[in-house]
Chain A
Amino acid sequence: TQLLEQSPQFLSIQEGENLTVYCNSSSVFSSLQWYRQEPGEGPVLLVTVVTGGEVKKLKRLTFQFGDARKDSSLHITAAQPGDTGLYLCAGAISGGSNYKLTFGKGTLLTVNP
């Protein structure tokens, strides 16, 4: 079983602060995805990273895939209350016709106005 450890589990910050959340595993993934989930809703995909060392930016969010494709980080600059939610990373194992994601337990982020 491939396990993804996310840290921290909970994070409460003030509007305008920067933060980084981490996603670590001992397994190598073919790709890694980050999702955000709001209360009462399903997760929504933010980004997919595929290449080791890859960095992607989505406005104030910066995603990085580790060189060995075992870990990833999400950095948010100048956090806003609208960034509040559960951030989930998910590693993909694909082979042949199979494709499935293993999810971390998430980081619950609260951004206070």
Chain B
Amino acid sequence: NAGVTQTPKFQVLKTGQSMTLQCAQDMNHNSMYWYRQDPGMGLRLIYYSASEGTTDKGEVPNGYNVSRLNKREFSLRLESAAPSQTSVYFCASSYHGELFFGEGSRLTVL
């Protein structure tokens, strides 16, 4: 049972570098999400996608772009990484009000 799979699990970047976090779900869910979790801040929504071909900004979208490649995959891109983007990133998909999360990707920007 794969559920929601994120890659990579860990990444260290230098300021200004770019990278893409990949996410795939095998539950045939329409909606997918990217959250970030920071100490003392809980989970904050970056972007979400209600269905294939649509994406919308969440609470903290600045500095990020997303692509809903198909129903299964939803990627998050950092074009020019900044230290403020050091965080743990969670991808999720949803069904009937319940979110299913991946294991997280820990990103450090030096």
Do the two shown chains form a genuine complex with each other?
A: no
Instruction: Write the residues of chain B forming the contact surface with A, with a CB cutoff of 8 angstroms.
Output: none
Instruction: Write the residues of chain A forming the contact surface with B, with a CB cutoff of 8 angstroms.
Output: none
